[in-house]
Structure 1
Amino acid sequence: MKTQVKALVVGGGAIGTSIAYHLAKAGWGDVMLIERDELTSGSTWHAAGLLPLFNMSYATTHIHKYSVEFYKGLEEETGLNAGFAVVGNLRMAQTDARMDEYMLYASTAETCGVPYQWLTPDEIKDRWPLIKTEDLKGALYHHTDGYINPADVTQAMAKGARQHGAEIVRKLQADEFHWNGTHWDVTCTRMVEKGGNLIESDEKVVITAEHVVTASGNHAQRTAKKLGIKIPAIPVEHQFIVTDVDPSLKSWRAEGNPEHPVIRDADAQSYVREERGGWILGVYEKNAPACFEYGVPDSFRADLFPLDLERIEDQYMAMIHRMPSCEESGLKDDFNGPICYTPDGNPLVGPAPGLRNMWLAEGFSFGITAAGGTGYYLAQMMVEGEAEIDMASLDPKRYSSNWMTTEFAARKNEECYDHVYILHHPDEERPAARPLRTAPAYDRQKARGAQFGWVNGWERPNYYGPLDAPSNFDEENRSFRRGGWWQYAVEEAKAIREGVGLIDATAFTKHVIKGPGATQFLDWFTCNKLPKIGRINLTYALTAHGTTRTEYTIVRNGENTYYIVSAGAWSEYDADFLRKAAEDKMEEFGYIEIQDVTTQWGVFAIAGPKSRDVMKEVIKDADPDTALSNKRFPWLSARQIELGMCPVNAIRVAYTGELGWELHHPMEMQNYLFDLLETAGEKHGMKLVGARAQNWLRQEKSYRAFGTELGRDATPLEADLPRFVDLSKEFHGKAKLEETGVRVKCCTLLIDGPEDADPWGREVLYTPEGTRVGRLTSGGYSVAFGKSIGMGYVTPDLTVEGTRLKVKMQDKLWDATVTCDSPYDPKNEVIRKDG
């Protein structure tokens, strides 16, 4: 057995074996996988093996798509049959709302090249007469996927890994991880079986690895403790049952008919598939408990929990309703085992926070489906430095260790489990573990009708409605079209365009960077010119591949003192990247001090034609009438001002594209400032405004957003932001940015869509002739133009103003026209307005 390797993979389930396979195939010869028990002894062994081809996540859809295609070729490569039954996947809908969901799914699938078909209830009945269809509206059918044998596909990937030179060692448990400055020293213990139990021996082995990947499944909490980090991957009990032979099904198959597809009855929270002449029923019921919150007991191996039939009685009766022939089939077998979840249902894939060369692949609730693609894209990240798709949405650092706890993860994971088959509205908010992080003005905003969204644990107003209106969490207030909140967001957007509005932007991520090396570091770290003292600039930190890693607003407060602001949803993601980059350059540039001051400073954004009038009411200055003029406070500058008794770091910039300021204030004085501005704004008709209206307004200005238009799969030049890239200087990622060129390009579109719906930013784009040419990354409604608006990526030749395209919404193609960049106030005359 080797004791020095390039990469050590910890965990021998489907995820771990895929990672070992793809790393070895990518050319890393010294790859080792260790498993504390036997391969597949974790959740893999009791997984149902379904392969749902895609979901609402762009990255996850690509991962699932790769897996399905990869598994089909494994037997030819390895000689082992992976047990892939390509029977298809039938997503049935009992309601019109569910069909709306599937239409959004379908359009999203097209952006990734995933095939599908629509089936009517009659067509379902004609093809599979055992299915009751009278109460169905229709179905979305994926004919290219199905299910697979989890153990077989894992063993096939393990054999493939060995064929490519990887070593796999069983009965070896990773116990300690020590970073020695260049490599990891991983202390392992030999495990032995005794009396049916797996126990530790006295034999220790130290493996030195340049890179370590953890794919520890249900043992993620143990892994987190060993690494000194937090991982919100905690298992939830998942139940499925197997019936005895169904005589009707047996007769159907004896007549030469094909196997049924995986039958997903989402409105009944369950799936059904054939199994040896009977049926498997899998459920995602309410009140399924989290387990192993603090680690898996040593005595738990390939074990199960007792079945709780009462918990799944409704789903069992729903199966009998949908497949009446199974009513007389007895219960043959049952499974209730731990399946790992995360708070949002997406896995944790990428670099571990705060650690070098430590990679996480944890929290897979659909691990068999995701295994192949995870290995492929994670190997790209490790070997090439970046994946070909943007993996940020799966990054482990999306849950900050500053506030994420075991209790939070357990409760959110339980919620995620029972939400697997709910209607996944794009405007959905989930109530578990909320509120958690609240800014001081939360109670005041709530009393004024705020309905809050969730951003990195923070409660942030989405919109303001009447106090007796349905809440954010009520299904009646959500929709795949225009939800109950839409009318309030329209009025808020109009208020900013026509008068004045106040937005709570406290969730912004904020850092102070200072020290002798700060200026040289930031000049290298970002691609735009640094601002002069007292000024601000928008800039980007790039990946080594020249794509966009993070967007920053940089305020220069001194020669070597900077205040930088980035997206609120990505606090630890940004902080980790920033700190590691600074550590790497400290010797070259000099001392660099980085402080995360996010929780020290609240932020209000005041914007609109009357915003200066409101500010004049409260600013303390020798000449209040000129204090906010262009001469004394020009656009894209920063000043320290006093509003009443509150010291404010004011920045003249507005994400809405109107005259306005960001007011960065001491968090402990937020309520004072809120009351002051609210009172001053009353006579000017100031309205409280939420994030949804702001999102619409920023699209009217073609302002790109990180996580949508900006990401690790496109460069700033492809985002059509050359004005923020200074090619006359050297910066991180510059060579690759220039080498990449412009493969695709971002543009803004005005859309003549349906009267009751707007795009969500997940839709596919076509030419009028029907050729798929791109996808939307953002969408919404424009109060300035009275129609839908969106932003997205197409080939560069199609970004010319006036180009006619089509966007797919509700399974129909709607006219869309490429407009100029910043269609509202393209010359920035409004935002520069003097007074």
Structure 2
Amino acid sequence: MKTQVKALVVGGGAVGTSIAYHLARAGWDDVMLLERDELTSGSTWHAAGLLPYFNMSYATTHIHDYSIRFYKTLEAETGLNAGFAVVGNLRMAQTDERMDEYMLYASTAETCGVPYEWMTPDEIKAKWPLIRTDDLKGALYHQTDGYINPADVTMAMAKGARQRGVMIERKWQADAFHWNGTHWEVTATKMAEKGGNLVPTDEQVVITAEHVVTASGNHAQRTARMLGIKMPAIPVEHQFIVMDQDPELVKFRAEGNVEHPVVRDADAQSYVREERGGWILGVYEKGAPARFEYGVPDSFRADLFQLDLERIEDQYMAMNHRIPSCEDCGLKDDFNGPICYTPDGNPLVGPAPGLTNMWLAEGFSFGITAAGGTGYYLAQMMVEGEAEIDMASLDPKRYGDWMTTEFAARKNEEAYNHVYILHHPDEERPACRPLRTSPAYDRQAARGAQFGWVNGWERPNYYAPQGFNDHDSRSFRRGGWWQYAVEEARAIREGVGLIDATAFTKHRISGPGATAFLDWFTTNKLPKVGRINLTYALTSHGTTRTEYTIVRRAEDDYYLVSAGAWHAYDQDYLFKTIVDKEEEFGRINAQDVTTQWGVFAIAGPKSRDVLQSVIKDADPATALSNKRFPWLSARQIELGMCPVTAIRVAYTGELGWELHHPIEMQNYLFDLLEKAGEPHGMKLVGARAQNWLRQEKSYRAFGTELGRDATPLEADLPRFVDLSKEFHGKDRMQATGVRSQCVTLLIDGPDDADPWGREALYDGDARVGRLTSGGYSVAFGKSIGMGYVTPDLAVPGTPLKVKMFDQLWDAQVVEDSPYDPKNERIRVDGQGT
């Protein structure tokens, strides 16, 4: 057994073997995999082996697509048949709303090149007469996927890995991880069989590895404790049952008919597929409990839990309804095993928080489907520095240190029973809420705030009359909330609105090395003292890693503001880079002040009038004028008794200020501003209206227009890139050129719907790009969106089409910032200039 390798993969399930295989295929010739038991002995062995394409995540769809294509090549490479039955996947809809969901997903699938087709109930019945279709609206059919044998595909990847030089060591358990400053030292213990259990022996080795990947599946909590980090990867029970032979099915197949596809009855929370003349029924029911919150018992190996048939009775009856011939089939076998989940159902893939060269691949609820693609894209991240797609949505740091075991367990149970719940784009899931609240939460709730969830924070999405039910208002079209967001957007365009932006991520960077470091770390010129700028930190590939608003408080004292949804993600990258560069640039102090400062954004033509009535200044009439307080500047002011760092900037594109205040004074400031705003008709405004307004100004958002698959130049933001200086990622950014370009479009869509930012863009019959944001424009009275197209189409006036509800709707590329392109409303002056 080698004790020094370049990369060590911990975990021998489908995910771990895929990672080892792809690292070797990417050129690393010194890779080892450790498995504490036998390969596939975790959740892999009892997985149903389905390969569903369906996913609303752009990154996850690419991962699933790669897996499905990759698995079809394994036999030619390894000689092992992975047992891939390409029978297709039939996703049925019992309601019009479910069809709306499928149409939104289908447009998303198109942006990733995933094939699909629509089937009517009559077409389904004609091809597969055993399926009852009289209560169906239709179905989405993926003809290229199906199911696979999980053990066989894992063994095929393991053989392929060995053929490429990977060492696979079974019955070795990783028991400790230590970073020695240059490498990881992993203590591994030999395991042995004893009385049917797996027990540690006295034999130990220390393996030195430059990189370590953990793919420990159900053992993720044990891994997290050894690494000293938090991971919300906790298993949930998943049940499926195998039925005896169905004579009608046996007869159907004997007549030469093709195998049924995987039949997904989402409205019945279940899936069915053929199995040796019978059927397998799998369910995603309510009440499935989380297991192993604090670790897997030593006695639990390739084991199962007791079946709970009462919990799945409704789904079983629904199966008999959908395939009546199975009603008299007996129960042949049953499975109730642990499947790892995360709070949003997507895996944790990428660098571990706070650790060097430690990579996580944990929390896979659809591990067989995701294994191949995870290995491929994670290997790209490790070997090349970045993947070809933006993997930020799967980053392990999307949950911060505020996350607890109890939170993860309850949210994972919710994610499990939401697998087949309608996935509205405006969905807000209720478990574990409220948890993180700003002081003004109760006041906002009393005024009708309907809250969204952002990195644990409760943030108003919109305000509605008391008694309004947000859950019932959700839709794939314009939900019941839409009218309230319209009113809020108009209030900012025509009067004044107040937005709670407390969830912003905030850092203080100071010290002798701060200026030189930030000048190298970001793309734009650093602002002068008392001024601000918008800037970007890049990846090593020159793509966008983080967007910052930088306020320069003093020569070597900076206040950095970034997206609230990406707190731990931004902080980890910032702090790791500071540690790496401090010797070069000098001492740098870095402080996370996110929870010390609340933020209100006030915007609209009357925003100056509101603030003037409460500002404490020798000359209140001129305190907020362009002369004393110009656009893109910051000042310390006093509003009543509250000290405020006021930043003259507005994400809505109107005259406005961000008011950063001591969080313990937030309720005082809220009451003060609310009273001052009454004479001016000030309205409380939520995030949905703000999102629409920023699109009218073509303001890019991180996680949509901005990410690790596009450079700032491709985002069409050259004004925030200072090419006269040297900065991290500059050479790669310039060498990349402009492969596609961000544009804003006005859309003549359906009367009852707007795009969500997941839709495909067409030029005639050719798919040429995709939307990254979408919504409604109060300024233009029609739908609006932002997205990426080829540079030749990024010309104002270019006609395009947007795919919505399986139809193509007219759209036109417009100039950047179609609303107030000269920023005259933002710069409007007050008295005293």
SS at match of 1:827: coil
Task: Kindly provide the amino acid, as one letter, of the partner of residue 816 in structure 1.
Answer: A
What is the letter of the counterpart of residue 454 of structure 1? Answer: W
Query: Could you say which residue in structure 1 is the equivalent of 2:623?
Result: 627
Alignment-derived partner of residue 419 in structure 2: 420
Alignment check: 8 A CA contact 1:492 1:689 kept:
yes
Between the aligned partners of 1:443 and 1:45, the Cα distance in structure 2 is 48
- Asked if structure 2 preserves the Cα contact closer than 8 Å seen for 1:213 and 1:361, the reply is yes
1:250 alignment partner, SS class? helix
How far is the alpha carbon of 1:809 from its aligned partner?
Answer: 0.2
Q: Give the letter aligned to residue 492 of structure 1.
A: E
Give the equivalent residue in structure 1 for 2:561: 565
Residue 761 in structure 1 maps to residue 745 in structure 2: no
Q: Which residue of 2 aligns with 1:443?
A: 442
Structure-1 separation of matches of 2:51 and 2:318: 22
Superposition misfits of 4+ residues, deviation over 4 angstroms: none
Q: Secondary structure at the match of 1:806?
A: strand
Shift of 1:635: 0.1
Q: Which residue of 2 aligns with 1:826?
A: 821
The answer (yes or no) to whether the contact 1:54–1:60 under 8 Å persists in 2 is no
State the match for 1:612 in structure 2.
608
Residue identity matched to 2:437:
T
The superposition leaves residues 730-786 of structure 1 with CA deviations (integer Å, 9 ceiling, x where unpaired) of 00000100100000000000000000000000000000x210000000000000000
User: What is the rounded CA distance, in whole Å, between the counterparts of 2:162 and 2:480 in structure 1?
Assistant: 56
Q: Secondary structure at the residue paired with 1:288?
A: coil
* Alignment-derived partner of residue 209 in structure 2: 209
Letter in 2 for 1:145: D
1:812 matched residue in structure 2: 807
- Which SS does the other structure have where 1:205 is aligned? strand
Distance in 2 (alpha carbons) for counterparts of 1:159 and 1:512: 50
Aligned to 2:186: 186
Matches within 5 A, 1:131-280: 131-280=131-280
RMSD: 0.3
1:746 partner SS: strand
- SS of the residue corresponding to residue 327 of structure 2 reads helix
Using the alignment, how far apart are the partners of 1:328 and 1:627 within structure 2?
A: 81
Alignment of 1:723 with 2:722, yes or no, is no
1:481 to 477, 490, 504: 477
Out of 784, 791, 803, which is 1:796 matched to?
A: 791
| Separation in structure 1 between the aligned mates of residue 585 and residue 609 of structure 2, nearest angstrom | 45
Deviation at 1:54, TM superposition (A): 3.2
- Say which SS state the counterpart of residue 779 (structure 1) adopts: strand
Superposed displacement of residue 494, structure 1: 0.1
Shift of residue 145, structure 1, vs aligned partner: 0.2
**Does 2:31 align with 1:31?**
yes
Query: Which runs of structure 2 are paired with 1:52-451 in the superposition (5 Å)?
Result: 52-401=52-401, 403-451=402-450
Using the alignment, how far apart are the partners of 2:719 and 2:361 within structure 1?
37
State the AA in 2 paired with 1:338. P
SS state at 1:425 partner: coil
Q: Distance in 1 between matches of 2:14 and 2:809?
A: 42
AA matched with 1:71: Y
- 1:643 corresponds to which of 639, 663, 666: 639
Q: Which amino acid aligns with 1:550?
A: T
Looking at structure 2, the residues matched to 587 and 13 of structure 1 have their Cα atoms a distance apart, in angstroms, of 41
State the one-letter code of the partner of 2:164. Answer: H
3-state DSSP class of the match of 1:537? strand
Asked whether the equivalents of residues 758 and 780 of structure 1 are also in contact (C-alpha less than 8 Å), the reply is yes
Letter of the 2:168 counterpart: I
Answer whether contact 1:398 1:572 (CA < 8 A) is retained. yes
Q: Distance in 1 between matches of 2:582 and 2:421?
A: 49
Distance in 2 (CA, whole Å) between partners of 1:217 and 1:703 is: 40
The 3-state SS of whatever aligns with 1:527 is: coil
Unaligned runs of 5+ in 1: none
Q: Which amino acid aligns with 1:818?
A: V
- Counting only pairs closer than 5 Å after superposition, residues 583-598 of structure 1 correspond to structure 2 as 583-598=579-594
Query: Aligned-pair distance for 1:468?
Result: 1.3
Q: What secondary structure does 2:628 align onto?
A: coil
Partner SS, residue 723 of structure 1: helix
Q: Deviations over 1:355-383 (max 9, x none)?
A: 00000000000000000000000000000
- SS of 2:747 mapped into structure 1: strand
Distance in 2 between the 1:268 and 1:53 partners? 19
The answer to whether the 8 Å contact 1:177/1:186 transfers is: yes
Q: Distance in 2 between matches of 1:681 and 1:256?
A: 75
Distance in 2 (CA, whole Å) between partners of 1:84 and 1:575 is 42
Aligned to 1:498: 494
Show CA shifts across 1:545-595 (max 9, x none). Answer: 000000000000000000000000000000000001111110010000100
**Partner AA of 1:773 in structure 2:** V
Q: AA paired with 2:28?
A: W
3-state SS, counterpart of residue 573 of structure 1: helix
Alignment deviations for residues 422-476 of structure 1 (CA, whole Å, 9 cap, x no partner): 00000000000000000000000000000000000000000000011113xx2x2
* Amino acid paired to 1:508: F
Match of 2:594, SS state, is coil
Aligned partners of 2:816, 2:8: CA distance in 1, in Å?
48
What SS does the aligned partner of 2:249 have?
Answer: helix
- For 1:452, give the aligned amino acid: F
- Asked if residue 663 in structure 1 is aligned to residue 659 in structure 2, the reply is yes
Partners of 1:190 and 1:162 in 2: CA distance: 21
1:691 lines up with 2:690 in the alignment? no
Within 2, Cα distance between the matches of 1:63 and 1:593?
Answer: 39
TM-score (norm 2): 1.00
Tell me which of 720, 730, 739 is aligned to 1:743.
Answer: 739
- Partner AA of 1:355 in structure 2: L
The whole-number CA distance in structure 1 between the counterparts of 2:140 and 2:60 is: 19
CA drift at 1:53: 1.3
Q: Distance in 2 between matches of 1:85 and 1:178?
A: 43
Q: Name the SS for the 1:295 alignment partner.
A: coil
Pick one of 778, 784, 799 that aligns with 1:783: 778
Work out the CA distance in 2 between the residues paired with 1:376 and 1:759.
31
SS of 2:613's partner is helix
Q: Take 2:615 and 2:224, find their aligned partners in 1: how far apart are those partners? A: 49
The match for 2:6 is: 6
- Offset of residue 644 of structure 1: 0.1
AA paired with 1:561? Answer: D
Q: Secondary structure at the match of 1:365?
A: coil
Which residue number corresponds to residue 513 of structure 2?
517
> What is the rounded CA distance, in whole Å, between the counterparts of 1:720 and 1:793 in structure 2?
10
CA contact (8 A) 1:500 1:609 kept: yes
* Alpha-carbon distance, 1:195 to partner: 1.2
Indicate the SS of the match to 1:413.
Answer: helix
Query: Could you tell me how far apart the structure 2 residues matched to 1:11 and 1:124 are?
Result: 41
Aligned residue in 1 for 2:671: 675
Q: Deviation per CA, 1:577-627, whole angstroms, max 9, x where unpaired?
A: 000111111001000010000000000000000000000010000000000
Contact 1:54–1:65 (8 Å) recurs in 2: no
2:710 equivalent to 1:714: yes
| Contact 1:235–1:341 (CA under 8 A) maintained in structure 2 | yes
Distance 1:699 1:437 in 2: 28
- Listed one character per residue, the Cα deviations across residues 533-552 of structure 1 (whole Å, up to 9, x for unaligned) are 00000000000000000000
